[in-house]
Amino acid sequence: LTLEQSRELLNAVDGPDKERDYCILTLFLNCGMRLSELVSINMSDVIHNNSTLRIVGKGSKERIVYLNDACLASIDAYVRVRPKDDLKDKNALFISNRGTRISPKTVQAMVNKYLTKIGLGGAGYSVHKLRHTAATLMYQYGNVDIRVLQDILGHENLGTTEIYTHTSSKQMEEAVNANPLSKMREKTDKNE
């Protein structure tokens, strides 16, 4: 998704579960986590005193992701309305309407609902595309180093991370122009 489409997606959230849905979309678009990582988040994984989130990724590998202001605000808004009674999994951050940990299928359906609402339904967009979007936005707009992005996404190999980083012509031009030698000219007899 482009930056504008990402904003549209977040602005499309409504309904009785809007705080939960907004929080889920915010975490996907800001932290680049996998679907399996999101549904496995426990309340205790959110560490407010240092604005971090413990994520258990592929192969049960743990990593810490820093939460920006948007993530913290959306988590706080959701936790205020999060169901507390008759929960089958009290540890789960995200709760379904049945009082259980939210399922991957429910999250996929919710994401597809909002993608369709903004005109992107069935166009190859999915939960995984939100992970891809987060990585691309951090890389293109935040000038995030690819190795830092690798750590955020929890990739073993840098090659995997490179797939997520689409460089634009403008970025390539800016990179070349940022070289300190970009203004250097060959000395000629006239310059001496």
**Residue 21 near residue 104 (C-beta atoms within 8 A):** no
Active site residue 132: no
Select which of 34, 101, 114, 139 is catalytic.
Answer: 34
Select which of 7, 48, 58, 61 is catalytic.
Answer: 58
Active site residue 131: yes
- Give strand ranges (E) for 24-168: 46-47, 52-56, 62-66
101: left (phi over 0), alpha (psi -120 to 50) or beta: beta
Select which of 22, 114, 125, 131 is catalytic.
Answer: 131
Active site residue 58: yes
Q: Give the H or E element holding residue 46.
A: strand 46-47
C-alpha of 78 from chain center? 17
Distance CA 105, CA 33 (A): 16
Active site residue 48: no
Active site residue 155: yes
Active site residue 34: yes
Select which of 18, 90, 105, 128 is catalytic.
Answer: 128
Catalytic residues: 34, 58, 128, 131, 155, 164
